[in-house]
Amino acid sequence: MQLFTKVTLSLFEGLGVTLKIFAMTLLMALPLGLVISLGSMSKFKVVKYPIKTLIWIIRGTPLMLQLIVFGLGPGLLGVRGMNMFVAVIIAFVLNYACYFAEIFRGGIESIPKGQYEAGAVLGLTKTQVFFKIILLQVIKRIIPPMGNEFLTLVKDTSLANTIMIYEITWNAKRMMNSEHILWPLFYSGVFYLVLCGIITLIFNYIEKKLDYYKG
Average pLDDT for consecutive 10-residue bins of the chain (215 residues)? 90 95 97 95 92 96 94 71 87 97 91 77 77 81 94 96 91 91 93 97 89 56
Domain limits of the chain?
A: 2-212
Confidence (pLDDT) at 73? 79
Taking only Cα atoms into account, the Rg of the chain, rounded to an integer number of angstroms, comes to: 21
CATH domain 2-212 topology = MetI-like fold (1.10.3720)
Confidence (pLDDT) at 76? 64
Count of CA atoms in the C-beta half-sphere (13 A) of 19? 11
Confidence (pLDDT) at 211? 73
Confidence (pLDDT) at 212? 59
Contact criterion met (CB below 8 Å) for 162 and 64: yes
Confidence (pLDDT) at 210? 78
H or E segment and range at residue 168: helix 168-179
Separation between Cα atoms, residue 108 and residue 186, nearest integer Å: 41
Alpha helix positions (H), 2-83: 2-40, 45-60, 63-76
149: CB partners within 8 A, 6+ apart: 96, 99, 100, 103
Secondary structure (3-state) at 42: coil
Contact criterion met (CB below 8 Å) for 199 and 154: yes
151: CB partners within 8 A, 6+ apart: 196, 199, 200
Candidates 148, 147, 139, 128; CA nearest to 212 is 139
Confidence (pLDDT) at 16? 95
Confidence (pLDDT) at 215? 47
Confidence (pLDDT) at 37? 95
92: CB partners within 8 A, 6+ apart: 21, 24, 25, 29, 63, 153, 156, 157, 160
Confidence (pLDDT) at 78? 61
